[in-house]
Amino acid sequence: MKKQFSLIMLMVILLLAACSNSNEEKEPEATTTEESASMDETKKELEAMKVEEDKVVATVDGKEIKGKDYNSMLVQTQLRYTMSGKDPSDKEVSKSIEEEVMDNLIGQELLLQKAKDEGFSASEEEVQTELEQIKAQFSTEDELNEALKAQGMTLDKLESQYADIVVVDKFVNEKIGKPEVTEEEMKSFYDDQFQKDAENPPPFDEMKDRIKDYLVETKTQEKVQEMKEELKQKAEIEEML
C-alpha cells in the first residue's frame, strides 16, 4: 500500500523531533542564559496553547474530538512551523496553527467516518508493518521514545493513531489513486526550484524521481482537500474552542 501524506508527515515530524533533541544534547554550551530564558518562556507559551485532554474541542456528526487529540496534533504542527522558520508563539502564527489543527482534525475524522462507512479497515498486520517502518528510522528504541515524548505521544498512542491513519490512507488510495505527473511538469518544477538560484544545481535526471514523488503527493493532497470540503458540506460540525 502506498503511503499517503498523513503517514509520511508523521514520520517526518518524529524524525525532526529526534534531530532537535540530538542538537540540544550536543550543543548545550551554545545557549546563553538569556537565550535559555527566552526559550523557556516560548516553551511556556506553546504549552499554554494546549487544552484539557478531556475537553471536547469539536463534534463531527456526533463523534467527539477530544483535547488529547488536539494537543497531539498541536505539538506536531508547532514543531513543523518552528522547523520552517516561523515562531509558533507569535499571535498571528499561533492563530493559524489553531485553525490548521482544527481543520486537520475535522478533515481526518470526516475521512475516517466515510472510510469506515464504506467498509475499509486496517488489520493488525498492516498497522504493525507501517509501525516497523517508523521504528526502522531510529537507531534505538530510546531514541524513538524521546521523539514521541517530544510530540506528547507514547508508542501505544502512536499505534492507536496508526490504525485510523491506515484506514484513511487505504480509502484515499482507492478513491483517488495515483495522479499523473508529466515530464513537462517535472521539468518546470526543476527549473523553478533548482536552476534559478543554485550555482551548481544537481542534474535533472538525478532529481527526477524525487520531484515526481513530490508532485504526486501534492496533487494527491489537493484531491484529498477537495474530498474533505465535499464531506464538510454534508456533515454536522461544531467547533468548541
Predicted local distance difference test score (pLDDT) of residue 237: 97
pLDDT tens sequence across 175-191: 988 899 999 999 999 99
> pLDDT, tens digit, for every residue of 119-141?
999 998 988 888 888 888 888 88
pLDDT of residue 175: 92
Residue-wise DSSP of 72-115? HHHHHHHHHHHHTT--TTSHHHHHHHHHHHHHHHHHHHHHHHHH
In terms of Cβ atoms closer than 10 Å to its own Cβ (0-12, 13-18, 19+), residue 45 is: middle
Spans of the chain, pLDDT less than 70: 1-39, 151-152, 197-198
Q: In whole angstroms, what is the distance from residue 212 CA to residue 185 CA?
A: 9
Are 126 and 166 within 8 A, CB to CB? yes
For position 205, what pLDDT does the model report? 93
pLDDT given at position 5: 44
Q: Which fold has domain 5-180+224-239?
A: Triger factor/SurA peptide-binding fold (1.10.4030)
Count of other CB atoms within 10 angstroms of residue 111: 23
CA angle, 101 as apex, 55 and 169 as ends, to 5°?
105
